[in-house]
Structure 1
């Protein structure tokens, strides 16, 4: 028999790793519930719990508390059946062309999957509870239950029914995910879906090893070869497949978080400048949601919401400061960007950065509003959605400290210094940044 200590380490590591990712998914469900998130959460909760219960230390504890030897085996196999159903439902939702209508379009198929899973679980429970395990051995077998009791006909059917449903689901998940990955454009999402597919197919090796050992032992061919195949080789496939599936399901979320963190920190200089010149745009300057300095740079929580809040505050600041935009600085920046052969999107970002920088400079210098309208000087319009706004503002933030904007500000500095001295002290103290 294999070493229980090693199985404790491997199974608990897999289970706790899945629980860690599950915690993030539960939080996402709490904030924005959806059928897809519910099923994705189930895809993590079922196998995470199964791995923990399958660890020999937990397995024997469950049996001791319930007073039913090897009951943990039934619990583990029912949990994996729940994962099989959840994974199949998740692929049905993923592959619908219209995500907003995915649940409506998939509802009938989902019902059939769930109904089949319920029937399989009910049959497994009946077969297990009616089997007389004591006729073979009344001891606990956390690692070799399958090969020990395979000679009992009802246990053989129980085990093969579980393996059949599990294998069918894994095969379906793998095929659908590979097909779905070909339609995806987002690199990390595509990699995550491919990892789920590969993990599902690797986990099929677990079923192949188990079925071979079960059939051999059911026909009386007990021996170290089948014991090794069932208790050592099969779990390797299970652990490797589960690890890849868990990584695949977590990859899109991790990639999205990394992107949000990068964008949040990229906007920091721009937001800080706007906040200093127009502090009223920050609704709660002491809140973590809009923090600044080291606390903002190290922000890890609620990034999507914090990022949206930061975009809104920057845009509000631009509206407040547009009356101080300097046309000469804007045009100097535009010429510099065109001379540097910037793309149209980069030119728009440089121009907007220069406009905002000139307004912040004028506001800090205490200059009054410009007597003529400068808000319609060819600045780019707001994006159609938050993603476009973010991409544009990140370009603006990069241009903010770039050489083109610095050169434009230097070129027009002389024209600002005279009026600034003339209006020194003319701005009420409460308006100074």
Structure 2
């Protein structure tokens, strides 16, 4: 049950990353899905269902090597220019493991005996599996540790550090479970006691991978949630400005964070285009001091009315520009402007004054 639960969590992380990463490399998706499939195949219930111990182990080990190759691809994708990862090494490893498996199968009844554990095909199988896995993991761990050290504090860096720990534990697991002939020789463990211990170490590593993946995925999910909420908040303001100036609309893209960034730019362009229509007497229409978002919303409401009436002023009033250090802060400010534009009684009164000034019915 624990194996299936861990496999389901790893698969959910992989599928989530597949859905959120619409473009670019998806090596981590391959890693999580390969490890999930390997855990499901090697689970006790699956082995009992198949009625064979060796074939599930071969399939699991092949999937694990595919996951290790995905980690190497992650490392190489961070280089500029990206260095491709050749496929022939893993194909060679799979071929050697398959040849060893063909030699091992006729001697399956000898499993657990000294003669079997030091059989050349068994030793070669273990060496190939361990060498490839450890090499990939060491490359990945070094790069990931450097990346985690360079990241600012937050959920994503915490997730990276957990993944570094997961990689280290996985190296220990590969060295332990991948070389049973060696460890059975130098310890007092029996063959029946070795695999449960190896599986326990592997499950511990999988728990760390799941936690690290959840932390890094959670960070991306939080960003997407913030972007979605920001888009909803500025949409009323954006619709008004695009209706007034359709030319400010940029090409659409199915990316929430980019969509928010695009709408912030479009709204700013629309506000600048309407400044010539802001009536100079706007300050007299405001009965009491108001905050900056409400004043900006009032200026927009009056400017839209005056634009429809065909009225403008050669030298529009130059109010103080509000400086914002980033898109998130700019989006928050425009969200406040949008809220005031939609709900503020002050803005409603300014709109009515502008309609009266323009000679149009309220």
1:85 aligns with 2:81: no
Per the alignment, in what secondary structure is the counterpart of residue 312 of structure 2?
coil
Residues 1:396 and 2:360 aligned together: no
Measure, in 1, the Cα distance between the counterparts of 2:316 and 2:114.
Answer: 78
Cα distance in 2, alignment partners of residues 51 and 193 from structure 1: 22
Aligned to 1:236: 200
Q: Does 1:26 align with 2:18?
A: yes
Determine the C-alpha separation between the residues in 2 that align with 1:147 and 1:306. Answer: 64
Between 1:146-155 and 1:242-251, the stretch displaced more is: 146-155
Whole-angstrom CA distance in 2 between matches of 1:358 and 1:204: 63
Is residue 68 of structure 2 the alignment partner of residue 127 of structure 1?
no
Query: Equivalents in 1 of 2:213, 2:114: separation in Å?
Result: 32
Q: Cα–Cα, structure 1 residues 417 and 306, in superposed 2: closer, same or farther, change >3 Å?
A: closer
For residues 306-385 of structure 1, the aligned pairs below 5 Å read 306-308=259-261, 310-311=263-264, 314-315=267-268, 317-318=270-271, 321-326=274-279, 354-360=295-301, 363=304, 368=309, 370-373=311-314, 377=318
Q: CA 1:417/1:117 → structure 2, altered by over 3 Å: closer, same or farther?
A: closer
CA distance in 1, matches of 2:113, 2:162: 29
Give the gaps of 5 or more residues in structure 1. Answer: 1-8, 139-144, 284-288, 291-300, 338-349, 428-433
Paired position in structure 2 for 1:345:
none
1:168 to partner: Cα distance: 2.9
Contact 2:13 2:217 in 1 (8 A): no
| Comparing 77-86 and 371-380, the one that deviates more | 371-380
Q: Equivalents in 2 of 1:93, 1:368: separation in Å?
A: 56
Per mean C-alpha deviation after superposition, the further-off stretch among 84-93 and 319-328 is 319-328
Match of 2:182 in 1: 215
1:6-405 to 2 correspondence within 5 Å?
9-28=1-20, 31-32=22-23, 34=24, 37-61=25-49, 63=50, 70-94=54-78, 96=79, 101-103=80-82, 106-107=83-84, 110-111=85-86, 114-134=87-107, 136=109, 150-185=117-152, 187-210=154-177, 213-217=180-184, 223=190, 227-228=192-193, 230-249=194-213, 251-275=215-239, 279=243, 303-304=256-257, 306-308=259-261, 310-311=263-264, 314-315=267-268, 317-318=270-271, 321-326=274-279, 354-360=295-301, 363=304, 368=309, 370-373=311-314, 377=318, 388-398=326-336
Deviation at 1:183, TM superposition (A): 2.4
Are the aligned partners of 1:353 and 1:396 in contact in 2 as well (CA < 8 Å)? no
- TM-score, normalising length: structure 2: 0.76
**Pairwise CA distance, 1:206:** 1.8
Listed as ranges, the gaps of 5+ residues in structure 2 are none
Return the alpha-carbon distance in structure 1 between the equivalents of residues 54 and 144 of structure 2. Answer: 35
The 10-residue stretch of structure 1 (158-167 or 210-219) with the greater mean CA deviation from structure 2:
210-219
Distance (Å, rounded) in 1 between the aligned partners of 2:227 and 2:284: 27
What is the count of residue pairs matched by the alignment?
Answer: 355
Pair 252,245 (structure 1): closer, same or farther in 2 beyond 3 Å: same
SS of equivalent to 2:150: coil
* Structure 2: distance between partners of 1:356 and 1:48: 52
CA distance in 2, matches of 1:413, 1:426: 14
In 2, Cα distance between equivalents of 1:328 and 1:238: 73
**Local SS of the residue matching 2:81:** helix
Tell me how far apart the structure 2 counterparts of residues 426 and 222 of structure 1 sit (CA, whole Å): 92
TM superposition shift of 1:322: 3.9
TM value normalised by structure 1: 0.65
SS of the aligned residue for 1:122 comes to helix
For residues 128-150 of structure 1, what are the alpha-carbon distances to aligned partners after superposition, in whole Å with 9 as ceiling and x for unaligned? 11224445259xxxxxx999963
Contact 1:195 1:244 in 2 (8 A): yes
Q: Which residue of 2 aligns with 1:141?
A: none
After superposition, the Cα gap between the structure-2 partners of 1:154 and 1:413, relative to the gap in structure 1 and judged at 3 Å, is: closer
- Cα distance in 2 for partners of 1:146, 1:426 equals 97
Counterpart contact for 2:279–2:312, Cα < 8 Å: no
Q: Post-superposition shift, 1:74? A: 0.6
Does the residue aligned with 1:102 lie in a helix, a strand or coil?
A: coil
State the Cα deviation string for residues 255-296 of structure 1 (Å, max 9, x = none): 13312322432453432244357657799xxxxx99xxxxxx
How much has 1:87 moved relative to structure 2? 0.7
Output the CA distance in 1 between the equivalents of 2:7 and 2:121.
29
Q: Once the 2 structures are TM-superposed, how far is the Cα of residue 80 of structure 1 from its aligned partner?
A: 0.5
